[in-house]
């Protein structure tokens, strides 16, 4: 999976800061657990990750530098959201495929 510059910066930052990682893990798990499906969870987590990125851009030196260099325009965090859901949540059971023609009852 390929992450954009902002997603990679956030992922690396969280990977190196245990408390921040735990905060985001709890948030991702709560959102994914409450969502109707994975797509809804990813969409909500995408928004939460961007809010987190903006918040860190005011206080964390690495984010401040990135905001100065590249600006603070809204950037998609969808790939990172999908990755974090895969890494930090239990897989949901798949629904059985509908029986097709000729399938045994």
Evaluate whether residue 103 is within a structural domain. no
Q: Could you tell me the two tokens for 27?
A: 């948030």
Q: Which domain holds residue 10?
A: 5-88
| Of residues 24, 26, 25, the one with CA closest to residue 51 | 24
* Any domain includes 97: no
Within a domain: 78: yes
Q: Is residue 94 part of a domain?
A: no
* Helix segments in the chain, DSSP class H: 5-16, 18-34, 38-56, 61-70, 78-88
Flag whether 18 is in a domain.
yes
Residue 96 lies in a domain: no
Whole-prediction pTM: 0.83
Number of independent structural domains in the chain: 1
pLDDT bin (cut points 50, 70, 90) of residue 36 is confident
Q: What is the pLDDT of residue 91?
A: 76
- pLDDT higher than 70, residue 19: yes
Which three-class secondary structure state does DSSP give residue 2? Answer: coil
Mean pLDDT (whole number) for 5-20: 97
In a domain, 101, yes or no: no
């Amino acid at each position: 999976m390929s992450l954009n510059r902002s997603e990679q910066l956030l992922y690396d930052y969280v990977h190196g800061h245990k408390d921040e990682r735990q905060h985001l893990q709890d948030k991702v798990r709560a959102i994914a657990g409450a969502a109707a499906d994975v797509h809804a969870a990813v969409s909500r987590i995408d928004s939460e990750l961007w809010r987190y990125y903006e918040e860190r851009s005011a206080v964390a030196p690495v984010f401040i530098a990135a905001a100065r260099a590249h600006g603070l325009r809204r950037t998609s965090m969808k790939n990172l959201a999908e990755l974090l859901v895969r890494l930090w949540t239990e897989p949901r059971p798949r629904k059985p495929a509908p029986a097709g023609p000729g399938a045994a009852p």
